[in-house]
Chains A and B, each alone.
Chain A
């Protein structure tokens, strides 16, 4: 049986089919029930056995060949179609992505969380107190009697008093130190707490705002000394400023609520406008501190013959400015979006000690 012409015809038809439908027509014409090859297969029964054997093998081979050609052509057509689709699906990927708002944490909040992380590790809890205080908590209990010159130096905001209300006016707390008294009254001794929060002074110029933030720290036990205070502050500064070495200098000073009292300076350098803590030959005052005055302990109901301890107070905004290179205090409270975004922190950058305080 000579199948050369048939083969040639169908292989050419498969190759020339332009699409799935044309290819199907070729398949039906060749291999369909009424197709040409199927018709030839039907003639096999009328042949003698030897002839049938040879022709059957020939026909089956041809059938397989055409079938394979059909499949190959089908796959090629599908690939071509996909390529065409992908070409059509081109997008300009340089277009901006869908917007996502990025929030920020204010530096004051971030630094408060840093303070909490460091002092919690040293066993300090966080205490709070009201921002409107009776003058007793803000002054008298802290050994600042009414006529003490230090009272005048506090530039205090007073709350208005209704006619007939003869109590001394309440004050907006001028420092976080009243929390010393409140914490001792509620938690007793021994005690280690820090108390960060808002404080208020009647002062507004280049470097002062009528509201700012302080953190108070106290540690009271039977044998706590000023040397422990120095160590605690050294550890804090090293951790907070994220440097290997800090050097603090204690300078005698006076605060009515501590005795002895010390102003604490930190060593730094100023290289091209950039502050570097822990090196150089300059000293900058960063906080006030001392041993709690016996009268303050007494005011809080603690026996000063049994208990002793230290207290310190530090400006949070100020150490935030130092650490993060923020130039102007007033901008902290102006809510300029550009400032908030530039100096703010990511919501997920919650400071902790294992991961480091800042990214």
Chain B
């Protein structure tokens, strides 16, 4: 919303400066987004006189002018300056606009410097309107009347010295979409006095030849009130200079007096109006009704819209003439030839206007205002004021007013509770001030019953009164007041177990050397499908790009895409991770927390120690186990090979407890890597944070430490087994040989491949275990060690089908 200072002073009597006004507006909740003061850049341009203009000695099209300038202002000492000028109208005696050397010329963006043009010195410029950015006119320099005051600032003389203020109006404040509403806020704040608005009804001289009728379907909701009148015998020329200046200043293009008048009321009083050329209204009546659907309508923006059933329109016998409250029609619009005009002032239902405007994608000043709420009580007063202005500017004679329906009664009242205002805001605002503020804003007070004015549809409860009082009192006066602790003493932990785990997972993975990423929650359809998602349920209806069309089913695709981007930049060895939500469905709550790490390339850069090796599945497994340990998962979990299709089927596993999978680790399927454009090797792990069971007993106390003074004994065993036998089978069998005596079993070697098969037979490998025996009662004898060893060999052989390696 833009307005100029002089326009504001139509409504506000004030001596406040632009700066004071801008500060107050922002503080009141009408945030100032910009103040453009033309005086700032046009100040140096002053009115001058050309004493003599003679032909340039070396150029046909240039003239050398002796210019009388008055840098000190009117009546000050004359300074003669020589200027070379190419304008055809540069002549002796011309009164024009002079810019001295050193001036920044806004129209060209150039800083003037003293110069020499074809051998003649030139120390300034005689300006055109375009150079001052006043118009596109560059046919010649500005040519002023003889009596223009020499030395005066050009902007002062032309009345351009009018700062433009732009405010951001929040959706609750339609009244501030009119300059008068802004003036009212400023007056309530004490920055001046709201000038009275004189509304003198214009007596009609004849009956309106155009009747109006609201379809019963719209009377209750849609269009409760429609009024208008014909003004005949008008002259629709250009509007007067003052009106054009104001409209131009706020970025509107003057069109004709009638159209400019409607725009004037839109901005001045938040009262959008429409003018029909009365001679183009067929059949002598305007009907407000819902569209049947399928009608085509050529709007004032030059576009043809196909209407949907139910959209509100205004029709005559020829068809739709106006898209009610949104945009008028080209066919019945006013032109310079218009002599009889029908002036419309109506009140349209905000919800209906918003729905139609959104459906047809039309953004107009009228729609913007009607969907936020125009004052329903101002339909007739607005019509009267506009009639008067048409008569004043275009002449003619007004008919009686025709109308259907009546102004919507929005009278309602709320309780002012002055103590509650103070309690909520925490600021001491005396009751008298509260009442004065509300009154100044147009509220009516009877005791503590407060009736909001008709132009404030946003005030819908007691709390809204508090807001009005507080913002006018100024929240900048608010002083912070300490808030008591909820409970005294040392605060209790506040994170939920899942939140604690999320944090533990994140910091653990970072400590393992991974760089945390935050990738988008939505990914492209192809990647989503590769990772088991991509269904209709998780599709975003209006994605910002096809790359972000589906909620991610897993964190891996985002990390793989990140890896591909980094590889494209030449970073081939990566350790990336993310902890965040993945979505198994599109309903609220169908999301779960994943902690996913991805290793790509080699474990390290090349170095003299030979540290570099390709990352492999055991790296991913180690990190998955470290994260599980950090989350308090039991040490002994099962490992299964039941994993999703994006893992390498032979080089991946799931760590779980019964049917509950806590984590998956492994190599990424080579086909996935190809699809995602990642150069392998790539291994990863995903921990499903919520699937890690909570500890059964939550106590900080540790169980007592049981350590034996007796010497532990380590014994090594090597077994020849089939190549497909899993080591864990042998380990578990060995552990089962003597649960009391065997403290641990560890795989310390495996021997596979051609050499192994050459020694042990085709399809065989060897697994070597070290078993630690920890006696608790007495030192082990050789016989006891032999006995348990034999049992281990027996159990492992039985479980694996292997034999002790000779």
Contacts and interface: CB of A to CB of B under 8 A. Distances in A.
Is chain B found bound to chain A in the same assembly?
yes
A21 interface: no
Given A99-B605, A252-B470, A252-B475, A157 B29 contact: no
Given A99-B605, A157-B543, A254-B29, A340 B516 contact: yes
B479 A260 contact: no
Given A103-B514, A291-B424, A335-B562, A132 B590 contact: yes
Interface string B466-490: 1100110011101111110111000
A102 interface: yes
A259 B506 contact: no
A226 B358 contact: no
Contacts of B28: 252
A136 to B, nearest CB: 10
B521 A149 contact: no
B417 to A, nearest CB: 10
Interface bin, chain A = 35 or more
A251 B571 contact: no
Contact of A294 (B462, B506, B517): B462
Contact of B494 (A103, A126, A153): A126
Interface string B152-179: 0000000000000000001111000000
Contacts of A348: 507, 511
Interface stretch (B122-130, B194-202, B532-540): B532-540
B589 interface: yes
B462 A160 contact: no
Interface string A90-122: 000001101111111110110001001000111
Contacts of B577: 103
B516 A103 contact: yes
Contact of B588 (A132, A204, A231): A132
With most chain B CB atoms within 10 A of its CB, the pick from A99, A170, A223 is A99
Given A228-B481, A228-B483, A347-B510, A152 B358 contact: yes
Nearest to B471: A252
A26 to B, nearest CB: 46
A147 B372 CA distance: 10
Contacts of A56: none
Interface string B602-624: 01110111010000000000000
B485 A123 contact: yes
Interface of A, secondary structure class, is mixed
A104 B510 contact: yes
B430 interface: no
A7 interface: no
Interface in A250-306: 250-254, 256, 259-263, 291, 293-295, 304
Interface stretch (B349-357, B434-442, B700-708, B750-758): B349-357
B570 to A, nearest CB: 10
B519 A335 contact: yes
Interface in B334-390: 350-351, 354-355, 358, 371-372
A335 B520 contact: no
Interface in A319-337: 332-337
Contacts of B424: 225-226, 260, 291, 308
A162 interface: yes
Contact of B426 (A102, A190, A226): A226
A192 interface: yes
A40 interface: no
Given A225-B425, A254-B173, A335 B576 contact: yes
A95 B461 CA distance: 75
A172 B522 CA distance: 10
Given A102-B513, A147-B350, A260-B466, A226 B427 contact: yes
Contact of A99 (B519, B541, B548, B607): B607
A122 B609 contact: no
B636 interface: no
Nearest to A161: B541
A74 interface: no
Contacts of B522: 210-211
Nearest to A198: B521
Interface in A184-220: 190, 192, 198, 200, 202-204, 210-211, 219
A71 interface: no
A126 B499 contact: yes
B244 to A, nearest CB: 31
Interface string A121-133: 1111110101111
B491 interface: yes
Contact of A341 (B467, B479, B515): B515
A298 B487 CA distance: 26
A159 B541 contact: yes
B778 interface: no
Interface string B515-529: 111111110000000
Contacts of B139: none
A260 B581 contact: no
B495 A116 contact: yes
A17 interface: no
A158 interface: yes
Given A227-B427, A295-B461, A350-B507, A251 B541 contact: no
Contacts of B544: 157, 202-204, 210
A337 B570 CA distance: 10
Contacts of A234: 480
A105 B608 contact: no
Contacts of A261: 29, 467
Contacts of B479: 227, 230
B170 A253 contact: yes
Contacts of B314: none
Given A160-B536, A160-B541, A333 B565 contact: no
Contacts of A202: 542, 544
A170 B587 contact: yes
Contact of A150 (B171, B481, B559): B171
B684 to A, nearest CB: 15
A227 B603 CA distance: 55
Contact of A101 (B494, B513, B562): B513
A116 B590 CA distance: 25
B610 to A, nearest CB: 10
Given A101-B514, A153-B171, A223-B423, 6 more contacts: A98-B607, A126-B494, A147-B354, A227-B425, A227-B480, A229-B426
5 contacts: A101-B512, A103-B511, A159-B541, A251-B29, A291-B463
Smallest CB-CB A-B distances: 3 pairs: A227-B426, A101-B513, A225-B426
